[in-house]
Structure 1
Amino acid sequence: MPMHRYYLLLSLYFISLAVHAQNPKQNPKQSPYIIPYTTWDTEEFNWDIAGNESGKFPNLLSELKWKDLSGPKLGIISGIPITPKLQLKLEFSYKTIISGKVNDSDYAGDNKAVKTAEFNLQADKGHSIKTSLELSYLLLNRQDFTLKIHAGYLGYYKTLYMLDSDTPLNKDKKLNSTYKPRYHGVIYGLQTSYTIHPWQATLDISGIHIPSYLANANWNLREELQHPISFTHKSKASGYNLDLRLGYHISKNLQPFITANYTQLDASKGTDKLYKINGQTHTTQLNRVHSSNFHIGVGMKILLSLL
């Protein structure tokens, strides 16, 4: 998302804040809660490297594109009040990849001018883990409207596969290569909720800063490379997260909901370090890493203080 659009969305939040500040009625203090949820998750993930450390000869040497990495995700969110306005929020989710494709292409000329190899492979295996630990502060708490700011730690741990398609690459050995990205960084944003009883809509807009993007790969059919770490990636990344939830209060403490979420992360130029079996290493430029993720699903918000 272009930064000016992100700032526009933030501006809309504060306009809403000004409008709802006219309402003098206050809601009760925050309650502890848990939110179990399940979603269907689909992700695109790709990266490419250049021929040398300067990003040349060629400017794009190899490109990996994972497409439609789909599967069920299970997660849980917990909110623990610390003060009437300050709350600790924890989240953990686990996705199992059950379908997907990956394209592996190599080039000999700049701007993909000369393609030297291309493989269309399976990627119907793997998993993705998300963890976060945040503090949120309640800026405004009205009967029909709340506004919070939040910030904290965010981590992603993924294992992506390259597997044989209908025609094996090697008749004597199965393709079972892995790429394991690790993100560690900060998430920060605003969350607003509108209530027209018994309905409640919640929108969260967050920015993501990843000072440490790390990945290692095991290319199991490449006998000239070391195993289990054939090469590593190192870079920095940034992105954003949009989360929309529509809930319906069936009682004072239970709120089933439907949810939709989109997350995008992009890594800047970094390093690709290749480890050969003879002990030599070769370093090239990691041009970029791009990940986009969408999920839709259902969950239940449970207010513990009202049980």
Structure 2
Amino acid sequence: MKRYLIYVLLMFCCFSVYGQLAEEQRKRWTFAFYGDDSSENFQWSIAGNSNGQNPNVLSEVIWTKLKGAGMGLDVDLNIWSHIFFKGSYHKAFIRNGTATDHDYAADDRTQPTYSAFLKSNEGHTSRYSIALAYEIKFHELLAIMPYAGYAKNRQSFSLKNLEEKGDTKLNSRYQTNWSGTVVGLDLEVARLQRINLNAGLSYQQLHYTGLADWNLIDAFKHPLSFKHTAKGFESQVLLRLNFKINSMCAAYLRGEYRYAETGKGIDRLFLADGQERESRFNGAVRKVKGIGAGIIFSIR
């Protein structure tokens, strides 16, 4: 039985390779430019000490509905046979959003000692990725492209009072860096002669760093008040509907959803007198959704 399975597998591989070699081998480069609107939620918290106690949530900051317009570029370069280089870049500018900052004296977010309701209407997010992919065509209506590479995401958020009073203004900043290896799968389905659907799934193992400047706390060092480090992951779902204009150009609609979170890590506090303190970083969670439209140019 095992011998027959081996024969079948070898025959399948031979037919697959033969079919791919029989295709017209022409280089194919595609460039996709797009604009989009996105909405993002992000939060993190720390504990009172390195053991996650005293209390288990000492401070928590939550950003909600950070909205703004962005633009991006995706490229697929056929470098040899069925091997592709994939690259992408995206940047969005935050123009609207809110945030809350809470401190607690007891476990499980009880006995609040500080509460602030803030605005976050400045900042930006960016991401880029590079990868190598291999295209497999099962049929003229279906193709898949598994890939692996490296990706980096960055965020820059602000914290400001809803209404500024006095000469001293709250203008705290929190910046993040999520980076690591990424694996994914692109799927292309041609439904009609001039319409096709692309779907993408990706997963990223990452290292997380968060840098903060809490500008109104004199006891903290500036411009680096504290630093968060942890390990985590990100997953993404992307859908793209293409409308062919001619052999070299197509318009498309796109929608995506991203979810990222970290595990527990380290919160390192830098004081103005030069001392440093450590506590447990409970983790960060990020959720992003966006819709957009763009145009694709294909060169053969």
Q: Distance in 1 between matches of 2:50 and 2:23?
A: 57
Per-residue deviation, residues 89-110 of structure 1 (Å, max 9, x unmatched): 1111110000000100011110
Q: Distance in 2 between matches of 1:280 and 1:55?
A: 21
Q: Which has the larger radius of gyration?
A: 2
Please state which structure has a larger fraction of its residues in strand.
Answer: 2
Counterpart residue number, 2:41:
44
* Structure 2 segments unaligned to the other structure (5+ residues): 1-15
Q: CA deviation at 1:139?
A: 2.2
Query: TM-score with structure 2 length normalisation?
Result: 0.90
* Partner residue of 2:167 out of 167, 172, 181: 172
Q: How do 1:126-137 residues align onto structure 2 when only pairs under 5 Å count?
A: 126-137=123-134
Q: CA deviation at 1:301?
A: 1.2
Counterpart residue number, 1:288:
283
The one-letter amino acid of 2:75's match is S
The one-letter amino acid of 1:48's match is S
Q: Distance in 1 between matches of 2:197 and 2:98?
A: 35
Counterpart residue number, 1:72:
69
Counterpart residue number, 1:17:
none
Q: How do 1:112-261 residues align onto structure 2 when only pairs under 5 Å count?
A: 112-140=109-137, 142-166=139-163, 168=165, 171-195=166-190, 196-210=192-206, 212-261=207-256
Q: Distance in 1 between matches of 2:103 and 2:117?
A: 12
The one-letter amino acid of 1:273's match is R
Is this contact kept in 2: 1:39–1:296, CA < 8 A?
yes
Pair 302,28 (structure 1): closer, same or farther in 2 beyond 3 Å: farther
Per-residue deviation, residues 256-294 of structure 1 (Å, max 9, x unmatched): 000000011001000000000011111110001000000
Per-residue deviation, residues 220-273 of structure 1 (Å, max 9, x unmatched): 001111000000000001120000000111111111000000011001000000
Counterpart residue number, 1:7:
none
Q: Distance in 2 between matches of 1:205 and 1:31?
A: 22
When the two chains are superposed, the root-mean-square deviation of aligned CA atoms in Å is 1.5
Is this contact kept in 2: 1:158–1:180, CA < 8 A?
yes
Q: SS at the partner of 2:273?
A: coil
Q: SS at the partner of 2:50?
A: coil
Q: Distance in 1 between matches of 2:138 and 2:73?
A: 24
Q: Distance in 2 between matches of 1:292 and 1:142?
A: 35
Q: SS at the partner of 1:71?
A: strand
Q: CA deviation at 1:113?
A: 1.6
Q: SS at the partner of 1:213?
A: strand
Q: Distance in 2 between matches of 1:253 and 1:166?
A: 52
Q: Distance in 1 between matches of 2:253 and 2:39?
A: 17
Q: Distance in 2 between matches of 1:288 and 1:28?
A: 50
Is this contact kept in 2: 1:27–1:141, CA < 8 A?
no
Counterpart residue number, 1:13:
none
Q: CA deviation at 1:27?
A: 6.4
Matched residues, percent identical?
Answer: 26
* Partner residue of 2:87 out of 85, 90, 102: 90
Q: Distance in 2 between matches of 1:298 and 1:27?
A: 31
Q: Distance in 2 between matches of 1:293 and 1:173?
A: 33
Is this contact kept in 2: 1:122–1:162, CA < 8 A?
yes
Q: Distance in 2 between matches of 1:256 and 1:27?
A: 26
Q: Distance in 1 between matches of 2:176 and 2:292?
A: 25
Q: Distance in 1 between matches of 2:269 and 2:262?
A: 19
Q: CA deviation at 1:115?
A: 1.1
Is this contact kept in 2: 1:27–1:143, CA < 8 A?
no
Q: Distance in 2 between matches of 1:225 and 1:304?
A: 55
Counterpart residue number, 2:12:
none
Query: TM-score with structure 1 length normalisation?
Result: 0.88
Q: Distance in 2 between matches of 1:303 and 1:39?
A: 21
Query: Mean Cα displacement is larger for which, 158-167 or 237-246?
Result: 158-167
Stretches of 4+ aligned residues off by more than 3 angstroms: 24-30
The one-letter amino acid of 2:296's match is K
Q: How do 1:20-31 residues align onto structure 2 when only pairs under 5 Å count?
A: 28-29=24-25, 31=28
